[in-house]
Amino acid sequence: MGNKITYKPFGDCAILVEWEAKICASISNTIIAFQQKIGAFENKDIVDTIVGYSSLTIVYKMRIVDYFNEVEVLKKINASKYEGLKKSSFTWEIPVCYDLEFGIDLQEISKATNLKISELMKLHSQKLYRVYFIGFLPGFLYLGGLDKQLFFDRKPNPRLKVAKGAVAIGGEQTGVYPSESAGGWNIIGKTPVNFFNINNDSPCFAKAGDFIKFVSIDKNKFLQIEKEVKASAYQISKTLRND
Amino acid sequence: MHIKFLKPYEMIKVLKPGFFTTIQDKGRFGFASIGVPVSGVMDGSSADIANSILNNSLEAAVLEISFGSCEFQFLCPTFICVSGGDFSPKINRKSIKLNKKISVSTHDVLSFGKINFGVRCYLAVSGGIQSEEKLNSKSFYKGITKETVLEKGMKIPVHRNIKEPVISNASIKIDELHFNSTKINCSKGPEFELLSLYQQKLLFENIFSISKDISRMGYRLNELIGNDLPTLLTSSVLPGTVQLTPSGTLIVLMRDCQVTGGYPRILQLSEKAIHILSQKTTNQKFNFLV
């Protein structure tokens, strides 16, 4: 289960909690539960918590005066019974157009893997991806669950400009660029959906522990959804998960 | 509530935006879970001085000005204080002191001249800058705030303040060590122990210099200490985290850094050390002190 937890000071104002270094759903669930308990605890000295694949960082407003005492407090929070406040998790359906116009690296991946582009699309869109956490850019989801056949090394020289909405593969991971940025991942498609919009009440719809399902759409559907997104008339389809 | 704003805000007009001028407060906390960086003033010590002198809250938003060369016109009377780097600030071409409460009148122009020391100066205004707050902070950041850098002609909302000034020539003495110190205090980072003894020795005995690759996100250093560590599972990073890149160079993350990263975190700067480093620039040298 990976229950062994270590606590480390991280500078003057943060404590790093680490689990066994592996990417797995059960560790991730434990981390998210711990994070939610800390949130429910409403300690004003704690200003933020940062989730990683196998770590949770607790950031304090001020310099930690008594590190060992804080660790004891955290251990108690983690051990506390915590029911009822658990946030629901959702599966979000993200439309992706795998047209060659958007999927500018599809041909290269197809050649290297000996898979037809239609097979690449199928392999990418049939899986359910777990959101481990959000980082790198506002609204950038770290997704787990990519099919092994789609593992593909990052570009040796990152592109200076990757389009907002680009769906990409980097090593053993897949993800969506929430805004235009530099990036070294291989681009296989594009979604018209916003992954980060500061004008929304919750700027990013997804959270750690949710799931993503990519749904293949054609160019016409892409343009239609893009229009609806612009007019704030598009709603991402979601289903509640019972786990 | 009886809030009547006939004219809610007065303005400061940007005549010249300078090289890189942003609005900053103490930053955004509580949004790491959606990947939003902390941001906020790079040299918090200097920003605190300016806000304290004006009796502002330390959380009040200020202008962070890199190397001067900007010009502002006040469209209302108020009090200001300039702190941090010395770029020869002037009101109507007459020199003003740093770290001192200065009364300004409508139409007065604040400009800068010769760069004497430092990288960033802070302009605090009585009551703080009143720009729009996004995710509990006014700090500029791409994709969060509408603006990412000040531009010519922009108007910065402030409060009018015509209260009688305390007649005083007092100014807080400039702490020269803050700008000259070559010691960067830090603690060992989470992956420090993975370094070889030789790398640890290099880290503490070498003098490091700042490369050209510097921004509010991070400072890349010139010297190499080698790296044969395995890559890590992506985990948190903080402002002040020193990352060891695959090529063996070091990056000191600054206020606009990402919330997560995959490079070993070998050192963590103290808050004060982040402030000191943020007043240094390309080719300046320092050493790490644990």
CATH domain A90-240 topology: Cyclophilin (2.40.100)
Residues listed for chain B = 290
Instruction: Say what the pLDDT of residue B5 is.
Output: 40
Average pLDDT over residues B197-217: 96
Amino acid occupying residue A181: S
- Residue B222's CATH number: 2.40.100.10
Residues B173 and B33 in one domain: yes
Among the candidates B126, B142, B177, a domain finishes at: B177
Residues B33 and B143 in one domain: yes
**For A74-100, what is each residue's pLDDT tens digit?**
999 999 987 556 678 999 999 999 999
Residues B205 and B131 in one domain: no
- B266–chain A nearest CA distance, Å: 10
> Does residue B208 sit within a domain?
yes
Residues B24 and B117 in one domain: yes
> Does residue B2 sit within a domain?
no
Average pLDDT over residues B183-210: 96
**For B268-279, what is each residue's pLDDT tens digit?**
999 999 999 999
ipTM of the prediction: 0.92
Among the candidates B144, B177, B210, a domain finishes at: B177
**Strand bridging mode B109-111 / A55-60:** unpaired
Tell me whether residues B187 and A11 touch, CB distance under 8 A.
yes
Best residue of A48, A204, A205 to probe chain B, by most B CBs closer than 10 Å: A48
Residues B166 and B196 in one domain: no
In chain B, the number of structural domains is 2
Which of these, B206, B215, B209, B245, lies nearest to B229 by C-alpha position? B245
**In the predicted model, is pLDDT for residue B164 greater than 60?**
no
Average pLDDT over residues B8-24: 92
Q: How far is CA B151 from CA B70, B108, B146, in A?
A: 10, 19, 12
Instruction: Say what the pLDDT of residue B168 is.
Output: 63
Which residues have C-beta within 8 Å of that of residue A218, sequence separation ≥ 6?
A: A97, A99
> Does residue B250 sit within a domain?
yes
Tell me whether residues B260 and A203 touch, CB distance under 8 A.
no
Quick check: B269 contacting A, CB < 8 Å? yes
Closest-CA residue of chain B to A24: B233
- B99–chain A nearest CA distance, Å: 25
Mean of all residue pLDDT scores within chain B:
93
- If you count residue pairs, one on A and one on B, with CB atoms under 8 Å apart, how many are there? 121
Q: Tokens 């490091």 sit at which residue?
A: B208
Residues B21 and B133 in one domain: yes
Quick check: A208 contacting B, CB < 8 Å? yes
Q: Helix, strand or coil for residue A110?
A: helix
Instruction: Say what the pLDDT of residue B159 is.
Output: 87
Closest-CA residue of chain A to B188: A11
Residues of A with CB below 8 A from B271's CB?
12-13, 63
Residues B95 and B63 in one domain: yes
Residues B198 and B165 in one domain: no
Residues of B with CB below 8 A from A140's CB?
35
- A111–chain B nearest CA distance, Å: 28
Instruction: Say what the pLDDT of residue B171 is.
Output: 79
- How many separate helices (H) and strands (E) can be counted in chain A? 5, 14
> Does residue B4 sit within a domain?
no
User: What gap in Å lies between CA A166 and CA A163, rounded to an integer?
Assistant: 6
Helix (H) or strand (E) holding B117: strand B117-125
Banded pLDDT at B246 (limits 50, 70, 90)? confident
Task: List helix spans (H) across chain B.
Answer: 44-53, 176-180, 197-205, 271-277
Structure tokens at A135: 């980082």
Among the candidates B131, B161, B177, a domain finishes at: B177
**For B80-112, what is each residue's pLDDT tens digit?**
999 999 999 999 999 999 999 999 999 999 999
Instruction: Say what the pLDDT of residue B161 is.
Output: 79
Residues B185 and B173 in one domain: no
Q: Between these two residues, B247 and A10, which has the higher pLDDT value? A: A10
Q: Tokens 């960082």 sit at which residue?
A: A57
**For B28-42, what is each residue's pLDDT tens digit?**
999 999 999 999 999
Average pLDDT over residues B45-52: 97
Residue B17's CB is within 10 A of a number of other CB atoms, namely 18
Spell out the SS3 assignment of A193-237: CCCCCCCCCCCCCCCCCCEEEEEEECHHHHHHHHHHHHCCCCCCE
* Residue of A55, A59, A204 lying closest to B235 (CB–CB): A55
| pTM strictly above 0.90 | yes
> Does residue B1 sit within a domain?
no
Residues B162 and B142 in one domain: yes
> Does residue B123 sit within a domain?
yes
Domain made up of A6-79: CATH architecture: 2-Layer Sandwich (3.30)
Domain ranges of chain A: 6-79, 90-240
What range does the domain containing B166 cover? 10-177
Q: Tokens 């790296």 sit at which residue?
A: B227
Tell me whether residues A208 and B33 touch, CB distance under 8 A.
yes
Query: Contact, B237 vs B32, CB < 8 A?
Result: no
Tens digits of pLDDT across chain A (243 residues): 446 899 999 999 999 999 999 999 999 999 999 999 999 888 889 999 999 999 999 999 999 999 999 999 999 999 998 755 667 899 999 999 999 999 999 999 999 999 999 999 999 999 999 999 999 899 999 999 999 999 998 888 889 899 999 999 998 899 999 999 888 899 999 999 999 999 998 999 999 999 999 999 999 999 999 999 999 999 999 999 976
Residues B164 and B213 in one domain: no
Which of these, B169, B211, B219, B207, lies nearest to B53 by C-alpha position? B169
Query: Contact, B58 vs B51, CB < 8 A?
Result: yes
Average pLDDT over residues B60-66: 98
Residues of B with CB below 8 A from A204's CB?
34-35
What's the Rg (C-alpha) of chain A? 20
Residues B199 and B269 in one domain: yes
